Each structure stands twice: as C-alpha cells, then as structure tokens.
Amino acid sequence: MKWVEVAINGPCCSGCMACVELAPEIFNFDEATDIAVVIKTPCPADIAHKVAAYCPDDCIDIIE
C-alpha cells in the first residue's frame, strides 16, 4: 500500500465537509474556523486521491 501526505488549503475550503464524510479517519471539521483539517497523515494514497477528486473546491493537496 502506498502512503502519501495530505494537506488542506484552508483559504479555499468552503466547509462542505465532503472530505470528512468520505474519510473521517483522516479529516475533521473545525467548527471554530469552518474549514476541514487533517487529523492523520500520512494516509493511504487511494483514499487521499478519492477524497481530492470529490472536493468541489480542489483544496486538498497530496504530497507523494
């Protein structure tokens, strides 16, 4: 299994929570800032790419 680092580009996050719904073990929602945050990295590459593909704001960065 390949592992990658993930990061959220906070300023472009709309707070839709798609990443949290798809991978709650990797992402969480910070209610104080209304943006998603990474809680576990590195993570499996297949999950990271799936979540990045569903992000409507393209704010998930994957570092391979």
By the 8 A CB rule, do 29 and 15 touch? Answer: yes
pLDDT at 37: 96
pLDDT at 64: 87
The CATH architecture that domain 3-63 belongs to is: 2-Layer Sandwich (3.30)
- Least Cα distance to 31 among 15, 13, 45 occurs for 15
CA–CA separation, 43 and 12 (whole Å) = 22
Per residue in 12-54, pLDDT (tens digit) is 999 999 999 999 999 999 999 999 999 999 999 999 999 999 9
pLDDT at 27: 98
Domain map of the chain by residue range? 3-63
CA–CA separation, 4 and 13 (whole Å) = 20
pLDDT at 45: 97
CA–CA separation, 32 and 19 (whole Å) = 17
